[in-house]
Structure 1
Amino acid sequence: MALTLKDMVALLDQELQPGQFKDYCPNGIQVDASVSPDAPIKKIVTGVTACQALIDKAIELKADALLVHHGYFWRGEESVITGIKRRRIESLLANNISLIAYHLPLDAHPVMGNNAELARLMEWTSAGGMEPGAKLPVGNWGTTRSELSLASLGQEITDKLGREPLLISGGNHAIKTIAWCTGAAQSMIDKALALGVDAFVSGEISESTVHFARENGIHYVSAGHHATERYGVQALARWLHNETGIEHTFVDIDSPV
């Protein structure tokens, strides 16, 4: 089933519902580099962030489009197209590779989202969203597969994500209930505390997160922004392939953050 860029994004929009989110960037098509409105998308490359290294790999693989979690045009950034932004966009346009990005919609999807995929990988059971009343919550809370110490949880994350997490102890208690939100969600630790869980896991950490965890008696784990967000875009690409037959290749450009 050959789709045009417009048709493919319409299918993705229908599944991810970007209009339901107040996001920090545009979701869907960010750069239209198709040679014509009727040009088919036969092959896509997926990745976490649309950095130059990922674009170069997409060029090498002769992709028609790049599907990512972190694209361009973030709220508050310079609007002029200069420097690395100019070079990236120039590379896309010169090689007829369109850029499609989904940020919060890909975090929140209940089946293919980053948080859903992290829970699947870690064998955590979700009991609901971290934001009570939210139709499409970005973070989740629930239970671990078995009762764990903080050190044991850290080792499981290391084994499954391939990255050693930063562990901040909130006391001597074991972990059975847990909340999680991938990426730069460290500020959501107050929501985890309100839920009464034993531990909170996010991607990034801030200096203040350490003291919040220690003084409020909640374990905190910084498992890596990139490490926690590699899985949603892969799940989305597999779904897209099953729906349309489009060929896809995931390229992991590592980031220590």
Structure 2
Amino acid sequence: MTHRSDLLQAFDTLLAPERFKDYGPNGLQVEGRVEVRRMVSGVTASRALIEAAIAREADAIFVHHGLFWRGQDGRITGWMKQRLALLLAYDINLFAYHLPLDAHAELGNNAQLGQQLGLRADTRFGEQDLGFLGERADGADFADSEALAVNVRKALGRPVTCVAGASGPIRRIGWCTGGAQSYFEAAIAAGAQAFLTGEISEPQAHYARECGVTFIACGHHATERYGAPAVAAHVAQQLGIEHVFVDIENPA
């Protein structure tokens, strides 16, 4: 068992949220009970995740996508009221870290996705250095765009959207989890031969073909399943509390 403030300090020390200009508040978003003995981690603070935490008698939830975002409607109605009502009724703490969780060099979403795909980063790029750039950990090249796409499909267990760039082997690969399609141009400038992220918008297909750099959209949720449980497990072990990751299915 640990104190809520000690849990918050452990997360803040590890993830350094003060370094980032973010789209919402990082840290403790909803205050629950003081003592924490069991924590549930997940990608998004959805009602399904909150209900799963209640079923597991959790005292805290740790997520990547919290409840509050810059520019959103501030009224507590509909889905927001339902989620907050559950958290408050069961006195559960909600901790959320967005960009700091993406960026952590070992436990973050990008680092953990790289591990899943067998990639090793040696360079950072893009706004706030969120993008990772590197090569296969085994030192080999991917034979071509399709070989890379097949590797990603197998590793993540889901279809991907691949817009092939130039033909031939691929060595330098950039990646940034979630909705980071706007990082594609920065990846190209950094020397990537392929770029992986969660989503694709209309311009990226043209950039891929015109610049000869492969673009692969792997799914927003699919690319961000790994950071939250890695961070939560690390902190739970450090503080001697229980932890379980709950992956709420999401086709996005």
TM-score scaled to structure 1, two decimals? Answer: 0.94
Does 1:139 pair with 2:134?
A: no
The answer on whether the counterparts of 1:186 and 1:202 sit within 8 Å (CA) in structure 2 is: yes
For 1:33, the equivalent position in structure 2 comes to 32
Give the percent of matched residue pairs that are identical in Structure 1 and Structure 2.
43
For 1:247, the equivalent position in structure 2 comes to 242
Pick from 189, 197, 202 the counterpart of residue 192 of structure 2. 197
Q: Which digits, 9 at most, give the CA deviation of each residue in 1:214-242, with x for residues without a partner?
A: 11111000011111101001110221122
The answer on whether the counterparts of 1:173 and 1:198 sit within 8 Å (CA) in structure 2 is: no
2:196 counterpart SS class: strand
Q: Offset at 1:138?
A: 1.2
Q: Map 1:120-139 to 2 at 5 A.
A: 120-131=115-126, 137-139=129-131
Q: Which digits, 9 at most, give the CA deviation of each residue in 1:142-169, with x for residues without a partner?
A: 1124211211111111111111111011
Q: Offset at 1:11?
A: 1.1
Q: Offset at 1:33?
A: 2.1
Unaligned segments of structure 2, at least 5 residues: none
Q: Map 1:89-100 to 2 at 5 A.
A: 89-100=84-95
Q: Offset at 1:171?
A: 2.4
* Number of equivalent positions: 249
RMSD: 1.2
Q: Offset at 1:76?
A: 1.4
Separation in structure 1 between the aligned mates of residue 191 and residue 130 of structure 2, nearest angstrom: 18
For 1:69, the equivalent position in structure 2 comes to 64
Separation in structure 2 between the aligned mates of residue 151 and residue 127 of structure 1, nearest angstrom: 24
For 1:236, the equivalent position in structure 2 comes to 231
1:147 counterpart SS class: coil
Separation in structure 2 between the aligned mates of residue 147 and residue 195 of structure 1, nearest angstrom: 18
Runs of 4+ in 1 over 4 A off after TM superposition: none
Unaligned segments of structure 1, at least 5 residues: none
